[in-house]
Amino acid sequence: MASKAAQKRLSKEYVAMQREPPPFVWAAPDEKNILTWNFLIRGPPDSPFSGGEYHGVLLFPSEYPFKPPGIKMFTPSGRFQPDKKICFSMSDFHPGSWNPAWSVATILTGLLSFMLSDEMTTGSVTSSEPHKRAFAARSHSWNIQQNRFKEAFPEYSSLIMRDLPNMGEKERGKPDVVPNAPSVSYVRTPQIAAAAAASTSSPAVPTRTGSDHPPSDLTALSIMHYEAASEARSNSVVRPEDLNRAAAAPAQGWTTTWRHFIYEKWRLCAFIAVAVMVSRFSTRT
C-alpha cells in the first residue's frame, strides 16, 4: 500500500514522464498498484542493443521516495538475467547511496547507461556483441508473446514495433516525430488522413454533410489535428457562399447601371420641361 507521500510523488512523476519522456525509455504505473511501474527501453543506435525492445518493472517501496525501488528486466538482452533483480547504484541493493531527488526518469536513464556498460554485478550476464544483437533482433517478437507485456503495453503489442515517445532525436538536434505514447496516443485515423490530404490538395468546392463537428470516433488529440486540418482546408478552398456572391456581383452591377441610366434620363426630361415652361412664361410677359 502506497503512502500518501509515495502516491503524490509517483503521480507527479507520471505527469512529468508524459510531458518530457527521457530518450529511449518509457514507463507507466500499473492501473491497480501505483507502486509497480512497467517500463520499456529501446536500444540506442550505434550500440549492440540497437533495434531492441526491453520490458522490465520498477518495484517501489511504500516509503518511496525515501527508499529506492527494485528493478527487473524480463526481455532477454544478453546483458541482464531475465526476471531477476538488478544491482546498481539506484536500486534497492544500495539504499545507502539512494538520493530522494532521483525520479523514475533518472532511474531509467541510469539503467540504460548501466546497460550499455560492461560492468558486472548481481543480475547481469556476459555475452558477446553478436549475441546481444541477436537478442535485440528477436526482442519484440518475444515480448508480444508474453501476457504481462501485452497487458502492460497493449498499444505496443502489434506485430510491427513502434517507436517510443522520445527516440533521442532531440538530443541529435532533430525534431521528434509525433509521439505514440500510451497516455497521449496520437492515432492517425482515416478521417485525419483525409482531412490532411484535403488541406494540401488544389482548391475545390468542399462538400459538407451535417454539422461542422469532427467525427465522433476521434481521440481527443486527433480532434485537435482534425480541426487544424479543417481550418487549413477552409482557408484554401473556394466556399459556396463565395461563389454565390461572385455570381451575384455581375447581376447587381447591371441593375445598378440600368437604374442610374433611367435616373439620368428622368433628370434630363425634367430639366427640359422646366426650361420650356420658363421660356413660355417669359414670352407672355
Query: Annotated catalytic, 87?
Result: yes
Q: What is the mean pLDDT of residues 204-221?
A: 38
Read out DSSP for 96-144?
A: GG--TT--HHHHHHHHHHHHHS----TTB----HHHHHHHHHHHHHHHT
What burial class does residue 48 get, using C-beta atoms within 10 Å of its C-beta: 0-12 exposed, 13-18 middle, 19+ buried?
buried
Please state whether the predicted TM-score (pTM) of the whole model is above 0.85.
no
Strands (E), 60-165: 70-73
| 259 vs 244 pLDDT, higher one | 259
Relative to beta strand 53-59, strand 70-73 is antiparallel
The residue written with cell numbers 500499473 in the block is 30
Report the b/e string of 101-138 with b at 16+ CB within 10 A.
Answer: ebbbbebbbbbbebbeeeeeeebbeeeeeebbbbbbee
Cell numbers linked to 204: 475545390
Q: Residue 10's domain spans which residues?
A: 4-156
Q: What is the mean pLDDT of residues 155-180?
A: 74
Structural domain contains residue 98: yes
Q: Do 166 and 22 meet the contact criterion of CB atoms below 8 Å apart? A: yes
Residues with Cβ within 8 Å of 260's Cβ and at least 6 positions away in sequence, in order, are none
Segment 93-114, tens digit of pLDDT: 999 999 999 999 999 999 999 9
Domain CATH number, residue 76: 3.10.110.10
Catalytic residue among 59, 87, 181, 218: 87
Structural domain contains residue 150: yes
| 116 vs 218 pLDDT, higher one | 116
Segment 130-148, tens digit of pLDDT: 999 999 999 999 999 999 9
| pLDDT at residue number 276 | 64
pLDDT > 80? residue 117: yes
Number of domains in the chain: 1
| pLDDT at residue number 180 | 43
